[in-house]
Amino acid sequence: MRVNWNYIKLAFLSISLVALYGFADMRSKKREVSDISIKFLGDNSLYITEDAVNKLLIQNYGPVKNRPKEQLVLNTIEEVILSNDMVKSAQVYLTVNGELISKIVQRKPIGRVEGISKFYLDDLGKRMPLSKHHSARVPIITGEITGKTLEDAYEILNYINEDDFLRKNVIGIHIEEEGKYQLRFRMENFVVNLGGVDNLNGKFKNFMAFYVKATKDNSLESYAIVSLEYSNQVVCTKI
C-alpha cells in the first residue's frame, strides 16, 4: 500500500498550528495587565479626573493593574465607569501588549440651575451634578424651576448655543413662570423679556435688528427692558 506523504504532512501541519494557537492563547490569558491608560476624548475633560476614574475602578471592580487578562470583564469595567454621573460614554479594550485602554467622553453642561437644588443642565437636557474639579462658564438659570420650565430653558439654550453672538453674551435665564422667560446679557444693563419658546427664530431676528440699530445710535444704555413677547415687534422700556 502506497503512503501519501502529502496528506500526512498536511495533517501534521494542521495539528501543529492548532497546538501553537492553543499555546499562544493560553499564554495570552495568563498575561497580566501591564498598565492602565485613561484617555478623555473631546474638549470637555474637566469634570472628572484620571485619579477619580482609577479610584472608581478600585472601589467597584478591584485592582486592575497586574491582574491576569482572563479575569477581566471589559463590559463590567465600562459599566463601572459609566456609573459616574460625569461620564457620557466609555469604551474599554486591551492591547496586545496587555495595556488596558479606557476612552471616556464626559458630559457637557450648557446651563447651571441656581435654586433650592443646584445642578447643571447638560447638552441632552438631563440633570448633571456640579463638579468639585471645575465650574463651567454657562448661563445661570434662576426662578421657577419645574420639569416643564427646564425643558423650555433647554430649548432656549440650544438656540443660544447655535448663535455666536448669543452664546458669548447671554449669561442668564430667569424663569418668572411657565411661558415667561427673561434673558440677561453680559455687557448690557437691560433685560430681555422673551415670553415663551414659540417662534424663537423670529424673536431673536427682531432682537438682533434692534440691537444693531441701538448700537449705532448709542442708545443701548437708555433701555431697562426689551420685550420680544409681541408678534413681529420689539417693545422697549426706557430707564
- Is the pLDDT at 234 greater than 90? The verdict is no
Number of domains in the chain: 2
Which range marks the domain in which residue 71 is found? 30-106
Q: How far apart are CA 226 and CA 235, in angstroms?
A: 6
Looking at the structure, do residues 100 and 65 belong to the same domain, yes or no?
A: yes
Q: Among residues 61, 89, 106, which one ends one of the domains? A: 106
Q: List the one residue out of 213, 175, 218 whose CA is nearest residue 196.
A: 175
Give the ranges where 107-199 is alpha helix by DSSP (H).
147-161, 164-169
Place of cell 420680544: 228
Looking at the structure, do residues 91 and 122 belong to the same domain, yes or no?
A: no
Q: What is the pTM of this model?
A: 0.79
Looking at the structure, do residues 67 and 185 belong to the same domain, yes or no?
A: no
Q: How far apart are CA 103 and CA 94, in angstroms?
A: 12
**What share of the chain has pLDDT > 90, as a percent?**
57
Looking at the structure, do residues 173 and 101 belong to the same domain, yes or no?
A: no
**In this structure, what CATH number is given to the domain that contains residue 201?**
3.40.50.11690
pLDDT tens digits, one per residue of 28-76 = 455 788 888 999 998 766 888 899 999 999 999 888 888 888 888 899 9
**In this structure, what CATH number is given to the domain that contains residue 73?**
3.10.20.310
